[in-house]
Amino acid sequence: MDSSIRERFLSFVDVIIRVPPLFIIDELLKIEFGLMEENVVLDSTVIISNSATPPISNSFLIELFDVRHVAYKIFLTIILKFLCCCLVGVIVLSHWSNTSAMKAIIAYVSTQETTTSILDDILCFNITFILKEGPGFVVIQNYILQCLLASIFCYTHLAPKYPVLQKLLVLSFMAPSILGIYPLPTQVLHHAPVFAALVPMTVCNFVLWYNGITMLKTIYMGYQHARNFIDNYGLSALAETEWIRLNVPCVLRTFWMLRAGRQVIQILLNDYSEETFSYFMMIKSLAVNGCETLTAVLGMTSIVSFICHYIGCFFQWVLLTGDEGEKSIGTVSAILFYILALQTGLTSLDKDKRLVRLCRNICLLVTAILHFVHNIVNPLLMSLSASHNPALHRHIRALVVCAFLILFPVSVLVYLWSHYTLSTWLLAVSVFNIEVIVKVLVSLAIYSLFLADAYRSAFWEQLDDCVYIIRSFGNTIEFAFGIILFFNGFWILVFESGGAIRAIMMCIHAYQNIWCEAKEGWSVFMKRRTAVDKINTLPEAKAEQLRMLDDVCAICYHEMQNAKITQCKHYFHSVCLRKWLYVQDRCPLCHNILYKFENIRSNNETR
């Protein structure tokens, strides 16, 4: 019991230590895209408009709210983000927080006429004014944050932990917060965060240089291991192994959930008491902010993969099948969701447009999941009907799933066409849903034919032709839909939203779903036609010959009411022999040539 708890704890720590770099990358992407500045300006205008008698200038309030927003965000997530964070990340955040605090202090001092520093206000017992109207709250937050960052840095750095060095490191982290209280020149306060970061950066450089040889050896050993692994097993096997070893999906899920949890706390603390607050708006805000950067989209992709994985598990449980198809549902769904996000430029859209695009992408993903479920139920239907499985409950479960795969797309189509006007997205979703319905109807038709054949006493020679016609009909519909989707995507690429990713996906679609499908369909048609020509060269067995033979077909083991005679004097059903000719041209019993080339050439010439 203790060992299992220890393993779970170590696995939890193994995931947590990889989460902080994702938060750092996410914050950097936010700054690059201007998301934080936009939010700050909007919220600060609300504060200014709600303030009846502002004691200081509007520019200072905007600056002060910027500092409070950043410090508040860091304060809420510091425990989750930096349990075992890297040293450089601690220094970067320390410098960032110190810089923000110094800006607030400088702005506050510059607006005061009677006092020159925070210390003067403290000595004059103006503490309430400093906390409410001044930067006192920001200074206290920065002080607490720097204490925590200094403790983490002193505990985790790999340099010799001399007492003097440890105290100097703590002092360097705390110096800007202490100096900001005193009446010092503005230039000193402005450059204080830079000088405060010199000592920690010096320690980091020493650690890097001191352990440089060990790091290079480790990198070289990793390179040798990767090279040997690729030579023996291939690049894809290495990527899959490292993906599992690093537990990437769980790391991304943890990152996104912590990120969403932070936003929930902020929304509840800021807006819960307001009349306009609603849980629907909170969920809407989480969905919009949950895909505003590439790292956030990766985290949401992992959540989508997790959900789709258990959707596949549910249908596997309903159908009482194994785990063969369910494992790929989560992976393929994640890849599809991320490609849709990149293809539609989800992170670069405005909030309202991003929500609409996210809902559309999820609608397309749900349709793709229906295709995956059909891929699970289709072989089960074929096996149940072809193997004469008497388990009635398994037939009922499969038919219930098929009914769901028909009724759900129909209801989606009715809802979409009654609430939305014709557009390229609506056309794509409709095509995918109709394709699911056609696939299910084809599967049910073939299932019914096989089930009817199972209760027939005589051999059904036209069964193969019926199955071929039904499957050809379904494949033709899918091929036509593929062409429609290609032109639909071409219209989007040219007139709506172009991009390299969309162009690449169109090329892949044109090759896989149009060219390859047409080539494969033509190949099957030619094989079938050639097989028919070969069968026509063989003589038909007479009733007396079949009565004297009194045997079954060696391919299907059914009685022969009619048969074809090969050159080696063996008797087979013409349909069975035609299926055999799809594979090879020799007799199933003696392996001699089944037909004459001269007869085939003469038949083709007469045509």
Convert the pLDDT of each residue in 489-511 to its tens digit: 888 888 877 778 778 888 888 88
- Who wins on pLDDT, 302 or 69? 302
Q: Quickly name the fold that domain 514-602 has.
A: Herpes Virus-1 (3.30.40)
Alpha-carbon distances, residue 376 vs 82, 231, 397 (angstroms): 43, 35, 12
Section 351-371 average pLDDT: 90
- Domain map of the chain by residue range? 66-228, 249-506, 514-602
**Residue type at 547?**
R
Say what the pLDDT of residue 196 is: 85
Which positions ≥6 away from 324 have C-beta within 8 Å? none
Q: How far apart are CA 357 and CA 351, in angstroms?
A: 10
| Average pLDDT value for the chain | 77
374: pLDDT confidence band, cut at 50, 70 and 90?
very high
Say what the pLDDT of residue 329 is: 84
Section 534-554 average pLDDT: 77
Q: Please report the sign of the dihedral spanned by the C-alpha atoms of residue 297, residue 300, residue 304, residue 309.
A: positive
Residue-wise DSSP of 321-383: --STTHHHHHHHHHHHHHHHHHHTTGGGS-HHHHHHHHHHHHHHHHHHHHHHHHHHHHHHHHH
Section 178-196 average pLDDT: 81
132 has pLDDT over 50: yes
What pTM was computed for the model?
A: 0.65
Question: What angle do helix axes 326-343 and 294-319 make, rounded to 10 degrees?
Answer: 150
Three-state SS across 5-19?
Answer: HHHHHHHHHHHHCCC
Section 351-367 average pLDDT: 90
Alpha-carbon distances, residue 328 vs 253, 303, 312, 336 (angstroms): 18, 15, 9, 12
**Token code pair at residue 493:** 């690429």
Question: Maximum distance among all alpha carbons in the chain?
Answer: 124
Share of the chain above pLDDT 70, in %: 79
Say what the pLDDT of residue 589 is: 76
349 has pLDDT over 70: yes
Say what the pLDDT of residue 70 is: 42
Section 429-456 average pLDDT: 88
- CB 534, CB 527: distance < 8 Å: no
292: pLDDT confidence band, cut at 50, 70 and 90?
confident
pLDDT single digits (tens) 56-70 = 344 443 443 444 444
Say what the pLDDT of residue 31 is: 66
Which positions ≥6 away from 153 have C-beta within 8 Å? 87, 90, 91, 169, 173, 200
Q: Does an H or E element contain 571, and which?
A: strand 571-572
Q: How far apart are CA 53 and CA 382, in angstroms?
A: 77
pLDDT single digits (tens) 447-463 = 888 888 777 766 676 77
44 has pLDDT over 90: no
Say what the pLDDT of residue 323 is: 56
- CB 476, CB 524: distance < 8 Å: no
- Who wins on pLDDT, 404 or 9? 404
83: pLDDT confidence band, cut at 50, 70 and 90?
very low
